[in-house]
Amino acid sequence: MKISREQMAENRQRILEVASRLFREKGFEAVGVAEVMKAAGLTHGSFYGHFSSKDELIVQALAHALGQRNGASLPLGAYMEEYLSPRHRDNRAGGCPISGLAADTLRQTPEARAAMTEGVRAQIDGMSEKVEGPDADRRRRAIANWSAMVGATILARVIVDPALSKEILTETLAWIDDGADRPASAPAKAE
């Protein structure tokens, strides 16, 4: 039975959505094509009508997830609070693909790494537009803040001590907030 172009496009979108969630939740190596297709409600055999390989699926699923930029429309402070929240920490499958898949992507194809690079670049560019100050300082702050946010989220997810996990998120947000009013070249406040 032949399916329409519209149905093919819908199926492809469903596969990308399911794959991006499964990859964020379990990692690239722990998820097979059969699992993705079953979760998408499609047959394993129909996979090759959409993608030539799992590697291509990884690239496309990364690009799909990174293109969504959930929360990017929020004011910067609200976005950082949401990103560094226990809710985001606990939502691996629906959370940020950068904090969820950066380490896994390191071991993937150059095309997957290029997709991650574009996602990181877009995030930094978007944050640079929202940070106050001269252009050079804004970009520097965006890079530093984004790096701290991603790193804190990765650490908070891996730690089994709930109090320490939450403290990492809270203190990273406080550190970013403390730096909002000082020039980028000024030293951090003494504690």
How high is the pLDDT of residue 185?
Answer: 46
CATH number for the domain whose boundaries are 5-64: 1.10.10.60
What are 106's two structure tokens?
Answer: 């390191």
pLDDT of residue 1: 64
Q: What is the pLDDT of residue 106?
A: 95
pLDDT tens-digit readout, 85-117: 999 999 999 999 999 999 999 999 999 999 999
* Spatial CB neighbours of 112, under 8 Å, sequence gap ≥ 6: 55, 58, 59, 62, 105
List of the chain residues with pLDDT < 70: 1, 180-191
Q: Residue 132: its pLDDT value, please? A: 86
Length of the chain in terms of residues written: 191
Break the chain into its structural domains and give their ranges. 5-64, 70-179
Same fold: 5-64 with 70-179: no
Considering the segment(s) 70-179 as one domain, its CATH architecture is Orthogonal Bundle (1.10)
The whole-number pLDDT of residue 190 equals 43
- As a three-state string, the secondary structure of 55-100 is HHHHHHHHHHHHHHCCCCCCCHHHHHHHHCCHHHHHCCCCCCHHHH
What is the pLDDT at residue 180?
Answer: 60
| Packing angle of the helix pair 135-158, 97-105 (nearest 10 deg) | 80
pLDDT at 122: 94
Q: Residues 95-124, buried b or exposed e (16+ Cβ, 10 A)?
A: bbbbbbbbebbeebeeebbebbeebbeebb
